Structure 1
Amino acid sequence: MLQNVGSVDRLVRVLVGLALVGGAAFGVIGGWGWLGLLPLLTGFVGVCPAYLPFGLSSCAAKPHRRER
C-alpha cells in the first residue's frame, strides 16, 4: 500500500499516541487515552485510512520530470 503520511505527520502522530497511551497507562487520563494506539499505529505504518477516501497525503510532493 502506498504511504500517505509524511515524516512530520508521522512524528506528530507517534508523539501524540505515546502521550495518550502513557497518560492512560499511568491513570492520568481516562480509558479514552487508549485511543492513542490509533495515531501510534498509523504513525509507525505510514498509512492513514481516513486519508484514503479523500485522496489526501501529507507526503512530500514528488518532483516533476520534464519531458523533452
Structure 2
Amino acid sequence: MTVNVGTIDRVLRAVLGVVLLYLAFASGLPLFDGAVFKYGAAIVGVVMLVVAAVRVCPLYAIIGIKTCRT
C-alpha cells in the first residue's frame, strides 16, 4: 500500500491516539468506567497510533484522499 498520510495528519493522529488511551485507562472519568466507552476509546486510540506509525490509512485509500506531498 502506498503512503497516504502526511506529517501534520500523522502528528494529530498520534496525539489523538495517546489522549484516547489516557482517557480510557488513566483519567478516572466516570464516562470511561463503562466497558463500551473504555474499550471503544482504547481500540480507536490504538488504530490511530498504528495509522500514524505506518502512514497508511485504509479509509483514505478507499475514498482516494492523500494528505502527503509525495
TM-score by length of 1: 0.79
Q: Which has the higher contact order (CA 8 A, sep 6+)?
A: 2
Q: CA deviation at 1:36?
A: 1.1
1:6 partnered with 2:6? yes
**Secondary structure at the counterpart of residue 51 of structure 1:** helix
Aligned to 2:48: 39
Q: Which runs of 5+ in 2 are unaligned?
A: 33-37
AA of the residue aligned to 1:15? V
TM-score by length of 2: 0.77
| 4+ long deviations beyond 6 Å | none
Aligned to 1:65: none
Q: Which runs of 5+ in 1 are unaligned?
A: 63-68
User: Which is helix-richer, 1 or 2?
Assistant: 2
Aligned to 1:51: 60
**Secondary structure at the counterpart of residue 14 of structure 2:** helix
AA of the residue aligned to 1:36? G
Larger radius of gyration, structure 1 or 2? 1
**Deviations for 1:19-56, whole angstroms, at most 9, x for unmatched residues?**
00111111335212212111111011100000111111
> 1:20 & 1:54 partners in 2: Cα distance?
25
Q: Percent identity?
A: 33
